[in-house]
Structure 1
Amino acid sequence: FVTLHIVQQDANDNIVANYIATSALYHPETKVWELQFVKVVHYDETGNVTDSSISDSLMIKDWRETPFRLASANLRAEYLSVPELRDYLDYNSDFPPTLLAPFATHLQYRLALPWTCLVIAFIATALGIGYSRRGILSSVAAAIIIVFSMNFVTHLFLALGEGARIPDWAAAWTPNVLFGALGLVLLYYRATNREPPSLNLFGEGRIFAR
């Protein structure tokens, strides 16, 4: 890092110190920051300067920030891989839950995503079995409705998880559970050579037409 201006605040957001340095080095083995050619200015609670000093090198041991934490401050959860999400949650575990919620939610979503393929396979298998032209048309209509519903529900629960409205695991896995259960029910009806009433769209239309 070069040409730094670091502001240190207390628990009440009052500025207690300013660090102006030409460069900074981080020593990971000792977790120490080294500020080079640095000027330090300290302030009291009212904002008045209490003292200032200039030194060629200053070693600071009590800062919790790391280069990774600084670099990841503007990262977006949806663009990170599973290892990157895990690293973010590990290095920033002391952040408030509301700030970690998007990353925890997308980590669970990445883990749940392969199982979505199995859910879709259940639904596709059930809807792919047709016994008549009317049954095929009903399956096509049902497939369109289910695809749009699954997409809407998935993004709805992701938004709830990112906003810390529900737990991250619930946001990621609930759509799979709901539509997986639907796929198994449809598969059961088709395996027993029956159509569920909700898919008998054209049959109901014929009854009303009479």
Structure 2
Amino acid sequence: MSALLKLLRTMLWPVITIALGIGLSLWIVPQELASVNEQITVFPESDIRGHMLRPYLLVLLFFLPAIAAVLYRFADTLDRYLSKQFFNAFALVFISLLSVWLLMDFQNHQSEFRDSGQPLEYARRFYTSQMPAVIVLILPYALMLSLLLALGRLSRGREIVAMIQTGRGIFRITLPLLVVGTMCSLVCLIFNYHLAPLASGYKDAILDEATQRKASRARSVLYPNVADNREWYVGFFPYDFDKGLPLENILVTTFEANGGAPVLRMSAESAHWDRETRLWEFRGTNFVDLSSRPVPTKLEAPDPFYTDWRESPWQIIKPGLKEENMGIPDLNSWLKENEGLEWADTLPYLTQWHYRWSQPVICLVIIMLATPLGVVFTRRGLGGGVAVAVMLCAGMLFSSTFFLTFGESGAMPPILAAWFTNILFTFVAVYLFRRRITGRPIYQSIKKLLPGGD
């Protein structure tokens, strides 16, 4: 009986996390599937395979705690002890950072929530929708601080030295932390795939709605349709244009074949696209014959005006979408739609596409950077290691944004701009690990390189 109770106790967390993963999957994944089907039905030119992957990534996200619990269950005593120390520190640091962010952000937006007349409801919607983006933002900082806190405690208590005396090397001791970094990278990757960019774009829409302004997905969008000799200008895209809300302030100019002179211009107050019939309905229309000589002539205009132009709202809005608010499926669709077009500046979008994949790796690189600096064998070296770790991690997080501008401007290839920070600091991390494993000082060596160092 005692053996059975012990087994049940050790398997308690794996069973709970597996049940939690199943429950979340049954609750949220059907909603995500419905959203994907809606996207594909309304806009069949979207990246179908990319969007179809979204529900599977959510299932993986919901079962990551179960995977972690199983790994913890079958780890040995020292690995479980180190993991427990890290998770205790991580929970404290993550909750603290999240609380600070929530308080600061709420202070910035409390006036919008108050003006809505339903402050609690809009605050709930706003912060629930922002969680994926917030987690991606603060997770690297939380990893760095919690790792330094946990390893600092173990180093001060000489527990790291005791672990080494069992015959384990530094790399083997910190292997559970590298596993944690890998899993955190997976979390960021799943959020970066679609949810985090979507949350960033949804932020302004909720605030506009709270203050009784029209929520927009894009404004002042110019879309040249070279194949059909038309150029669209849309003044206002409602946020839920994909649910049938009309576009506003429309100007469509028709040109002669092969990029000739403009021949007809239509202005309209609104435009509605029927996803069933794929027909456009324009209201408040005015037509001007630009080919008329000596001056353009106003034509009689049917109102409403119907046409079977093949452009869809999703195609028209693409030039107005901000690349930082687009997930991987939307970036795939944008890049495919605008491939080879001279007027389309693809560099920012291609850079962001590569950054969606490279940014999550920051979590793993930060673990590799902070670990050798958090593990010290003397009390004197602890503060210096922490200072160097904070400096390097802050520099890494800054440079990851800094090099993106080079990729977006064309000064660097987009793939190199997105991955350069990870590559650079991985070499730094390997160097630091090597010095720590061989027992050579780190902080003192770096101090000698600084002006005034002994």
Q: Is residue 37–residue 54 contact of structure 1 (8 Å, CA) maintained in 2?
A: no
User: 1:162: which partner in 2?
Assistant: 408
Q: Which residue does the alignment assign to 2:318?
A: 72
Q: Give structure 2 stretches of 5+ with no counterpart.
A: 1-245
Q: Distance in 1 between matches of 2:317 and 2:344?
A: 19
Please name the residue that 2:291 is paired with. Answer: 44
Contact 1:19 1:41 in 2 (8 A): yes
CA distance in 1, matches of 2:343, 2:417: 15
RMSD of aligned C-alpha atoms? Answer: 3.8
Structure 1 residue 161 displacement after superposition:
1.5
**Distance in 2, Cα, partners of 1:73 & 1:26:** 18
Among candidates 73, 90, 93, match of residue 339 of structure 2: 93
1:38–1:58 contact (8 Å) kept in structure 2: no
Q: Which runs of structure 2 are paired with 1:5-84 in the superposition (5 Å)?
A: 5-8=251-254, 15-21=262-268, 24=271, 26=273, 40-44=287-291, 48-49=295-296, 52=299, 54=301, 59=307, 61=309, 65-84=311-330
Amino acid at match of 2:370: A
Report the CA distance shift for 1:97/1:112 in structure 2 as closer, same or farther (over 3 A). Answer: farther
Is 1:148 aligned to 2:394, yes or no?
A: yes
SS of the residue corresponding to residue 155 of structure 1 reads helix
The answer to whether the 8 Å contact 1:142/1:199 transfers is no
SS at match of 1:118: helix
**In the alignment, does 2:381 pair up with 1:135?**
yes
Q: Find the aligned partners of 1:45 and 1:114 in 2 and give their Cα distance.
A: 58
| Structure 2 match to 1:189 | 435
Kept in 1: contact 2:366–2:393 (CA 8 A): no
Residues 200 and 71 of structure 1: is their aligned pair in 2 closer, same or farther, counting only changes over 3 Å?
Answer: closer
* TM-superposition CA deviations, 1:103-151 (whole Å, max 9, x none): 2211211101221111111112211221212322221121122022212
Say which is worse superposed, 36-45 or 116-125, in terms of deviation.
36-45
Offset from partner CA, 1:63-97 (integer Å, 9 cap, x none): 6x431133334322222222232233233335448
What residue identity is the alignment partner of 2:290?
Y
Change (3 A) 1:207 1:112: closer
Report if the CA contact (8 A) 2:279-2:306 is conserved. no
C-alpha separation between the residues in 2 aligned to 1:127 and 1:37? 67
Q: Which residue of 2 aligns with 1:117?
A: 363
AA at the equivalent of 1:75: L
Q: Which moved more, 1:152-161 or 1:172-181?
A: 152-161
What residue identity is the alignment partner of 1:158?
L
- The 3 A distance-change label for structure 1 pair 129 and 55 is same
Residue pair 2:381, 2:443 contacting (<8 A) in 1 also:
no
DSSP 3-state at the match of 2:252: strand
What is the rounded CA distance, in whole Å, between the counterparts of 2:397 and 2:293 in structure 1? 54
Structure 1, 44-53 or 147-156: larger mean CA deviation: 44-53
Structure number with the higher strand fraction is 1
> Which deviates more, 143-152 or 167-176?
143-152
How high is the sequence identity, in percent, across the aligned residues? 27
In 2, Cα distance between equivalents of 1:187 and 1:166? 30
**Distance in 2 (alpha carbons) for counterparts of 1:45 and 1:126:** 76
Instruction: Report if aligned partners of 2:253, 2:266 keep a CA contact under 8 Å in 1.
Output: yes
Query: In the aligned structure 1, how far is the partner of 2:416 from the partner of 2:270?
Result: 45
SS at match of 1:72: helix
SS of residue matched to 1:193:
coil
| Aligned amino acid, residue 362 of structure 2 | T
Question: SS where residue 130 of structure 1 aligns?
Answer: coil
Measure the CA separation in 2 of the matches of 1:154 and 1:175: 6
Q: Secondary structure at the match of 1:99?
A: coil
